[in-house]
A and B are shown apart, each in its own frame.
Chain A
Amino acid sequence: MIIAIASGKGGTGKTTIATNLALSLGKVKLLDCDVEEPNSYLFIKPQIEKKHSVYIPVPKINSDKCNLCGRCQEVCAYNAIAVVKDKVLVFDDLCHGCGACSYLCPEAAIDEVNKKIGIIEIGKREKLEFIDGKLDIGQAMAPPIIREIKKHINPEDVTIIDAPPGTSCPVIESAEGSDFVILVTEPTPFGLNDLKLAVETFRKLKIPFGVVINRSDLGDKKTLDYCAEENIEILLEIPFDKKIAASYSAGELIIETQPEYKDKFINLFEKIKRKKRRHNEKS
Chain B
Amino acid sequence: MKEIVIISGKGGTGKTVVTASFAFLAKDKVMADCDVDAADLHLLLEPKIKEEGKFHSGATAVIDKDKCIACGRCLEVCRFSAVSLDFTIDPVACEGCAFCRNICPVSAIEMKENLSGQWFISDTRFGPFVHAKLGIAEENSGKLVALVKKKAKELAKAKKASFVIVDGSPGIGCPVIASLSGADCALVVTEPTLSGLADAKRVINVAKHFKIPVKLIINKFDLNLKISKKIENYCKEDNIDILGKLPFDKSVIEAITVQKTLPEAASDNIKKIAESIWSKLSSQL
Contacts and interface: CB of A to CB of B under 8 A. Distances in A.
A37 B171 contact: yes
A165 B171 contact: yes
Given A10-B170, A205-B137, A246 B223 contact: yes
A42 B206 CA distance: 21
Interface stretch (A46-54, A123-131, A139-147, A259-267): A139-147
Interface string A176-196: 100000000010111001100
Contact of A77 (B96, B136, B253): B96
Contact of B40 (A99, A100, A140, A194): A194
Interface in B38-63: 38, 40, 43, 58-59
B10 A170 contact: no
B198 A99 contact: no
Contact of A197 (B9, B79, B136): B136
B173 A139 contact: yes
B51 to A, nearest CB: 22
Contacts of A34: 171
Most chain A beta-carbon contacts within 10 A, residue among B9, B10, B58, B226: B10
B173 A249 contact: no
A248 B98 contact: no
Contacts of A10: 8, 10-12, 38, 170
Interface stretch (B24-32, B189-197, B263-271): B189-197
Interface in B89-147: 92-93, 95-99, 102-103, 134, 136-139, 141-142
Given A100-B97, A103-B77, A168-B141, A141 B194 contact: no
Most chain B beta carbons < 10 A, residue from A11, A103, A141, A172: A11
B13 interface: yes
Nearest to A78: B97
B202 to A, nearest CB: 6
A42 to B, nearest CB: 5
Contacts of A37: 9-11, 170-172, 195, 198-199, 202-203
A244 B192 CA distance: 14
B174 interface: yes
Contact of A137 (B37, B102, B172, B227): B172
B170 A165 contact: yes
A64 B253 CA distance: 64
Interface in A73-110: 75, 77-78, 96-100, 103-104
A208 interface: no
A175 to B, nearest CB: 10
Contact of B256 (A75, A96, A190): A190
B177 interface: yes
B115 to A, nearest CB: 14
Nearest to A198: B38
A36 interface: yes
Nearest to A74: B102
Interface in A153-179: 164-170, 172, 176
A165 B194 contact: no
A239 interface: no
A233 interface: no
A8 B36 CA distance: 11
Given A97-B79, A205-B92, A246 B256 contact: no
B195 A137 contact: no
A20 to B, nearest CB: 14
Nearest to A220: B257
A180 B207 CA distance: 36
Given A36-B170, A100-B98, A135-B172, 12 more contacts: A34-B171, A39-B194, A75-B98, A75-B99, A77-B96, A97-B79, A141-B173, A172-B137, A189-B43, A189-B256, A189-B257, A249-B223
Interface of A: 7-12, 15, 34, 36-37, 39, 42, 75, 77-78, 96-100, 103-104, 135, 137-142, 164-170, 172, 176, 186, 188-190, 193-194, 197, 200-201, 204-205, 218-220, 242, 245-246, 248-251
10 contacts: A9-B40, A10-B12, A37-B199, A98-B97, A98-B99, A137-B205, A137-B209, A197-B38, A219-B253, A251-B195
Which 6 residue pairs of A and B lie closest in terms of their CB atoms, listed nearest first?
A10-B11, A11-B12, A98-B97, A36-B171, A249-B224, A140-B174
